[in-house]
Structure 1
Amino acid sequence: MKKKIILTGGGTAGHVIPNIAIIPKLKDQGYEIVYIGSKYGIERKLIEKENIKYYGINTGKLRRYFDLNNFKDPFKVVKGIFEASRILKLERPNVIFSKGGFVAIPVILSAFKSRIPVISHESDITPGLANKISMPFIKKICITFPETKKFISDRKVEFTGTPIRKELLLGSEIKGKEICKFKNNNPVILIMGGSQGSVFINNIIRNNIKKLLDKFNVIHICGKNNVDNSFKNINGYIQYEYITDEQPHLFKLSDIIISRAGSNSIYEILALKKPNILIPLSKKASRGDQVLNAKSFKERGFSEMVEEEELISFDILYNKINEVYKNREMYINNMNVEFGNPIKKIVDIIVKYSK
């Protein structure tokens, strides 16, 4: 009898891409796949592109700061629980796999009530709020960083690493050049600020683009609604809100990557062995998980790191770019590490707990 799995997770691309990475292996194992995400989140577009049945539910946002919406969102969560329960009764899955994010909580609570086993995955060193809330209701939590073990019960934790999409490793430099149409052979910097974009990174790059273009070509992934038309016709500079099909080729073309320090992004950079500079999201705007991620990669020799508070002038970043490019072979050699097969490890756990 064919087994069915419901995948869930959303809010940012980081809560969706690892789910997409394990889909081919789940299909190989004979699973029918269904996805539960938020009604209007980025996950809908990404999952529907994979031709996976998608259900959108109501969900609140988990905020660590005062906001009037904090009083409204619990009602959305309750509504989401009823919606998720109806979907589970309709689909009758054998197992749930959650990548976290606020949309996963109604699904996990409904699954626990229906005695459907849940496997979760935590990308960052410290568990996110959604995974903390969900912890009592899950069978196993797969982790990306070995350091995460000290925050989670040994009984539930399983070190797997983070799943990387196979197609990401199949990029073509020739296709990358065809896409960008750069008119010179300068080294290429790829800059990305996460699926939502980064105003801080966007501004520091654009305000100093002339200096960068003296030596480099720049691919700038600036986030939804953040393309600046006044920069559209500058030779050597190309902008995208978000990249999908082009991503493997643009990554292959790049010599250096400047990025936020979300776990999925930095592990993709590691898998591609790209010298990189990480500018983690400031602790002022987050729980500090990206700072911990970046420090871990810097200590292991995979990355250089510059915190936002340190970037009091562009020269600090520019000097770091030149340093990393000059020593790029050292970083590439440092990234010659073996992490096993995260996709196989995660799917094996899912198979084990499928009822």
Structure 2
Amino acid sequence: MKILISGGHLTPALAFIDFVKTQKNVEMVFVGRIYSQERSKQRSHESEEVLKRDIKFIPFRSGKLLPSFSIFALKELGMLIKGFFHACLIIRSEKPSLVMTFGGYLAVPLAISAWLHRIPVVLHEQTSVVGISNSLIGKIATLVAVSYPHVEKSFAGRDVVVTGNLLRNQLLDDKVKRPAWLSATSTKPILYITGGNQGSEVINTTVLQLLPQITRDWLVVHQCGTVSEQSDYQKILKDESRKLSVAARERYAVREWINEKELAWIYQNCTAAISRSGANTTYEFLFFAIPSILIPLPFSPRQEQQKNAEFLAKMGGAVLLTQKELSAQSLRAALSDLQKNVRRYKNKLRKNTPEAGGAKRLWQALLKRGLV
């Protein structure tokens, strides 16, 4: 059989691919963005990670469903219609037995096309709040898998199973080694800073102002994102770090991208994190009991990131700092609180640790319903 996979959220899609590769007689094809930024033609991480796994990758573009009317919304609608016809060509050419989507706007035309061709569609929802695209896909999906029990009610009348989120096996490897680029002499606690795959300008610029302070108290691992048309933050941050003392410079490592083995070691050894609050990042912080300062992306659909951050903050495992509140002073104060009370935050997270094995549970749900 052949499974066509598409995912706005890459990491659970990769976890699913890695699990399915252990099964017999299953072919997979992945449909997604080949460029993370069209103008600069910068290769996307999803194309690199999928191809690295020897899975066929089909480049695909589409528009977003926007709730408001504007010239931009009309342009996106035009791209969505064009994407739908391209999706139909892909479905007819590949002839998949199942379309497995991990959300996002690219999945909408693929799911609709599969449905019209009477091919089963399965949706995995990672977030604690359902976005526009997944809400639409859920209406035509044969099966909906969710990460949190309270999300079931968002898909009333559909066949829903709670699988939890899908964690990549590489993150669970307890034999991973310390990254060679990270200082092995520092005894300071590790602080992981990330703005997601493409980085966050506002987090990067705020951290830039605090380098002398945070490198005094922490061994900092900063994933700043790839080079954009506007700026090269790895270069900017490295240049600024050269102004630090030799000892402080040793305690600051800035990287565009951190691979799975490196991230596994960081998750298993870091004390705290500063991050956006995407669905997969917050789930991983919960799983590894990493206290965090979460700065939600203010324009995420249906305040998805805000609600993800609120979920961990109400649990007592994170500090929520809105982008409007963010400054060098407020971040420093939040980090000081986190450092003083890290054990309390960590204990709250440990009381709510989700089970691993989401990919296996999803596969079993597919088997049970005769979809694979």
Specify if TM > 0.5. yes
Match of 2:358 in 1: 342
Question: How far 1:152 sits from its partner (Å)?
Answer: 2.0
Match of 2:17 in 1: 23
Structure 1 counterpart of 2:258, one-letter code: I
Secondary structure, aligned partner of 1:180: coil
Q: Does 1:239 align with 2:244?
A: no
Match of 2:333 in 1: 319
Q: Deviations over 1:4-49 (max 9, x none)?
A: 1111123xxxx11101011232123322111111342432222112
Question: How far 1:86 sits from its partner (Å)?
Answer: 2.4
Structure 2 counterpart of 1:334, one-letter code: K
Match of 2:187 in 1: 185
Q: Give the Cα separation in 1 of the matches to 2:90 and 2:281.
A: 31
Q: Give the Cα separation in 2 of the matches to 1:266 and 1:59.
A: 27
Q: Does 1:124 align with 2:124?
A: no
Q: Deviations over 1:148-191 (max 9, x none)?
A: 23322143332221101111122568513x32126532222110
Secondary structure, aligned partner of 1:194: coil
Q: Does 1:36 align with 2:52?
A: no
Q: Report the identity percentage.
A: 28
Bigger drift between 206-215 and 82-91 goes to 82-91
Q: Verify the 8 A CA contact 1:163 1:343 in the aligned structure 2.
A: yes
Q: Give the Cα separation in 2 of the matches to 1:126 and 1:274.
A: 22
1:241-256 matched pairs, under 5 angstroms: 241-245=256-260, 246-256=262-272
Q: 1:211 to 1:65 in 2, by over 3 A?
A: farther
Match of 2:343 in 1: 329
Q: 1:112 to 1:353 in 2, by over 3 A?
A: farther
Match of 1:266 in 2: 282
Bigger drift between 89-98 and 150-159 goes to 150-159
Match of 2:305 in 1: 290
Q: Verify the 8 A CA contact 1:232 1:239 in the aligned structure 2.
A: no
Structure 1 counterpart of 2:85, one-letter code: F
Match of 1:280 among 276, 296, 299: 296
For structure 1, which runs of at least 5 residues remain unmatched after alignment?
Answer: none
Secondary structure, aligned partner of 1:304: strand
Structure 1 counterpart of 2:316, one-letter code: G
Q: Verify the 8 A CA contact 1:172 1:253 in the aligned structure 2.
A: no
Match of 1:7 in 2: 5
CA RMSD of aligned residues (A): 2.3
Bigger drift between 47-56 and 271-280 goes to 271-280
Match of 1:197 in 2: 199
Secondary structure, aligned partner of 1:89: helix
Give the alignment's TM-score, normalised by structure 1.
0.89
Question: How far 1:319 sits from its partner (Å)?
Answer: 2.8
Q: 1:286 to 1:210 in 2, by over 3 A?
A: farther
Structure 1 counterpart of 2:32, one-letter code: G
Q: Verify the 8 A CA contact 2:131 2:301 in the aligned structure 1.
A: no
For structure 2, which runs of at least 5 residues remain unmatched after alignment?
Answer: 37-43, 228-232
Q: Give the Cα separation in 1 of the matches to 2:78 and 2:69.
A: 17
Q: Give the Cα separation in 2 of the matches to 1:223 and 1:66.
A: 32
Question: How far 1:92 sits from its partner (Å)?
Answer: 2.0
Q: Give the Cα separation in 2 of the matches to 1:330 and 1:241.
A: 31
Q: Deviations over 1:282-328 (max 9, x none)?
A: 2x5653111111111122232222222333x4333223223222332
Q: Give the Cα separation in 2 of the matches to 1:147 and 1:277.
A: 24
